[in-house]
Chain A
């Protein structure tokens, strides 16, 4: 029997009859969506299948059909002119995900306009313009994606956006946000937002996160920030500084935490009120500058007990231009690694020491090993997260080829990634 996905068919199995629409099926089975809405699979070899109606005919019969949800390059949402202008840049991810009726899978094919339709409250906060940058899962992003995103953000600011919202997959959001915070000096808020529960479910955190992000986008917090749930409840969102934030849980709504810093502030979901907790850069304080250079040949190396120093040698020989070491405790590696650190520095490869404790500051002046690491030429990453240190390293090496200048830049606080006093 000839039939394809979307057709309505009748299946007979040992005298039992099921009718429904053919869904994406696994090898050897035909999956049926029955009138009750349930799907079930039947072994192709054991059933008789009769075509009732082909998908095309049914589509003709039902003109309304199914909404197309292909991403469009640019969409214009209504502009009333009274509310602040905010651009939503969509890069894919769970906040922008939707069920594909054909495959039943959650896909990222959801545009900025769809977000506005799904979350009508947004229209009370700002006058939105939507723009699709990409529709990829965040684990597939790379340095070029960061640059493209940054470029689009800068274009929108130049075009008059008073705030930017970037919807992003949560897995690598902290990297992209940190990258933009190094690349762009921004006079307006640039807010990253995502969701930990897909947008198809009634309990999704997408609506609250997006609404809170919009509040931040029209606020005077002119920084690159990440706005996500503050607790497991739909109570408030936290506004995290891009250079201090880390995804600290694989699945919870409140996965994002500021490390070694308080969040910039919170947004109450009910009242939409923003409370700030630390100093921040205000709207208009900086003039727009864009320095997109990025060196992608950098890596994080995690030291573990007994790790072979040849690991470092591999990166040196493979032409890596900078390395971040996640050391133990205050920032240590075994004494066997020290000659290779020396070797790297001699080859003008900056080495930044961070701690795998994440919380707390690196201090290589307490124990002999630490002092030897510094003597070998490595730089302390202070209380910067290893991932932020890596992005910083990539950006610095994208800005200068001079080793000494690079070291100087790496030692300074460029985007709030280093705090003066460690949070108690």
Chain B
């Protein structure tokens, strides 16, 4: 894998330089194995995203009971009143 740092950034995963290097070696080995898929001719084959044929599933648009704000917020690492609180997003 050429750009471990780029992929880690996309995945929002901070890797130490040593971790990144080990990751590169391991992923290269795994991707080396995966490369065998190239041997298989898949021209004209439809992709499968779900094994069981799926169609859209609809239900009536009716209000139903849902969790209270207190229950929703109970696991939040940080909150302010009825809001999830996060570090500053917009710089001064």
Partners in one complex: no
**Interface, chain B (partner A; CB < 8 A):** none
